[in-house]
Amino acid sequence: MPEIEYEGEDNFAPSPETFPENFTKIGDLGLKNILGRSDVVVNKDLIPVLKTLDDILPTRNIKALVTSGYSQKHQSKCHTQYGSCIDIVPVSEESGCQIWQKLAGALASASMNTYQTQPKIIFETKIQAAVKGCVITNKDECGLEWKQCPKTTGPHIHVEFSR
Sign of CA dihedral 6, 148, 43, 99: negative
Q: Hey, is 58 helix, strand or coil?
A: helix
Residue 26 burial class via C-beta count within 10 angstroms: exposed 0-12, middle 13-18, buried 19 and up: buried
Q: Report how far residue 84's alpha carbon sits from residue 80's, in angstroms, rounded to the nearest whole number.
A: 9
Q: Report how far residue 60's alpha carbon sits from residue 94's, in angstroms, rounded to the nearest whole number.
A: 11
Mean pLDDT, the chain, whole residue set: 86
Q: Report how far residue 61's alpha carbon sits from residue 33's, in angstroms, rounded to the nearest whole number.
A: 10
Q: Which of 80, 99, 96 is nearest to 160 (CA)?
A: 80
- The pLDDT tens digits for 15-33 are 888 899 999 999 899 999 9
- pLDDT of 12: 66
- The pLDDT tens digits for 118-131 are 999 999 988 776 66
Q: Report how far residue 42's alpha carbon sits from residue 154's, in angstroms, rounded to the nearest whole number.
A: 20
Q: In the structure, what pLDDT confidence band is assigned to residue 3 with cuts at 50, 70 and 90?
A: very low
